[in-house]
């Protein structure tokens, strides 16, 4: 099996590591628009060969599109066009993006739609680039396959085998419910961390030593604020409607806390905290 990876960053690179050592891929070819990233990916050994995008598609049985979601929409469509032009009916293309609606819309009426599988492996770190790639990144995490009925059973089966090799637990979901869920449990956390970082960094302009007291609590809450703009700007834009709605709900919750504290209403504060403590059931 030849695997082609378009976008050799954290996700593409980490997939390369495990797909190779777990013998899913006999050969991995890849491409990245950024020359430094591409050269590093080759030097680190993530790919066997660097090739242009069209050659990557031509040489591979399965093509993983692991670029920011704004670019992914174009790359997936271009790849499906190529399948159609060349009459390649056995190849499969998949993306790994965190919002799915725009790719779903863009591919909906494509003659080769069935050869595309929409996936979202829910794994990552706050770092990016091929140097952030690591083994075992996906182990035991959840991967969503979205709108599976739009893909051919054979294409889905190939992709499931790939995620099995990555030790992921697979869930199925519609594109629209995927985008609502990720707004809540992933995208909102990023908005919150970015805003928290900006609040304290702003204060630092007057108070040089504000971070001297930063505890591990702050580091944990603000960790995602290190995430990069190339990836997150298009996610925020493409999942705009859900994220705005969820952020409004969050502002409301912060306001409740703020008002209870302002009123020094011990009962209200205690009950808001007790309610939040129910998260123990979810996160270990």
Write the DSSP assignment of 101-170 as a string of letters.
HHHHHHHTT-TTGGGEEEEEE----S--SGGG--TTTTTT-EEEEESGGGS-HHHHHHHHHHHHHTTPEE
CB nearer to a second copy: pick between 81 and 275: 275
- Is 208 near a second copy (CB under 8 A)? no
Point out which residues pair with 231 in neighbouring strands: none
Taking CA atoms, 234 is separated from 65, 159, 230, in Å, by 15, 25, 7
- Closest distance of CB 159 from a second copy, Å: 18
Show contacts with a second copy in window 224-243 (CB under 8 A).
224-229, 232-233, 236-237, 240, 243
Measured distance CA(141)–CA(139) in Å, rounded: 6
Q: Is 282 in the site for a second copy (CB under 8 A)?
A: yes
Interaction of residue 182 with a second copy, rule CB under 8 A: yes
In sign, the C-alpha dihedral spanning 214, 215, 218, 219 is: positive
Binding positions for a second copy, 243-262, rule CB under 8 A: 243-244, 246-251, 253-258, 261-262
Least distance CB 62 / a second copy (angstroms): 24
Q: Does 186 contact a second copy by CB under 8 A?
A: yes
Tokens of 203: 């204060």
Nearest distance in Å: CB 58, a second copy: 33
Q: Could you tell me the smallest distance in angstroms from the CB atom of residue 207 to a second copy? A: 7
C-beta closer to a second copy: residue 50 or 160: 160
């Amino acid at each position: 099996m030849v695997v082609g990876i378009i976008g050799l960053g954290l996700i593409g690179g980490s997939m390369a590591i495990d797909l190779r050592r777990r013998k899913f891929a006999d050969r991995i070819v890849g491409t990245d628009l950024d020359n430094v990233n591409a050269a590093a990916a080759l030097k680190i050994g993530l790919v066997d060969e660097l090739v242009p995008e069209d050659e990557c598609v031509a040489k591979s049985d399965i093509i993983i599109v692991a670029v920011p979601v704004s670019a992914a929409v174009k790359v997936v469509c271009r790849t499906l066009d190529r399948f159609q032009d060349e009459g390649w009916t056995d190849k499969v293309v998949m993306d790994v993006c965190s919002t799915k609606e725009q790719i779903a819309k863009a591919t909906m009426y494509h003659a080769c739609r069935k050869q595309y599988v929409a996936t979202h492996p829910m794994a990552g770190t706050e770092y990016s680039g091929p140097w952030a790639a690591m083994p075992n990144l996906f182990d035991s995490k959840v991967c969503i396959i979205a709108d599976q009925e739009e893909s051919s059973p054979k294409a889905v089966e190939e992709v499931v085998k790939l995620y099995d090799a990555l030790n992921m637990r697979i869930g199925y979901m519609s594109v629209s419910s995927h985008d609502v869920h990720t707004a809540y449990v992933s995208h909102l956390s990023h908005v919150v961390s970015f805003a928290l970082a900006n609040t304290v960094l702003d204060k630092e302009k007057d108070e040089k030593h504000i971070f001297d007291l930063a505890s591990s609590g702050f580091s944990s809450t603000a960790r995602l604020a290190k995430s990069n703009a190339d990836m997150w700007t298009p996610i925020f834009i493409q999942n705009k409607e859900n994220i705005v709605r969820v952020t409004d709900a969050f502002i409301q919750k912060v306001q409740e806390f703020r008002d209870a504290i302002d009123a020094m209403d011990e009962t209200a504060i205690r009950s808001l905290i007790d309610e939040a403590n129910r998260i123990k059931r979810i996160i270990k």
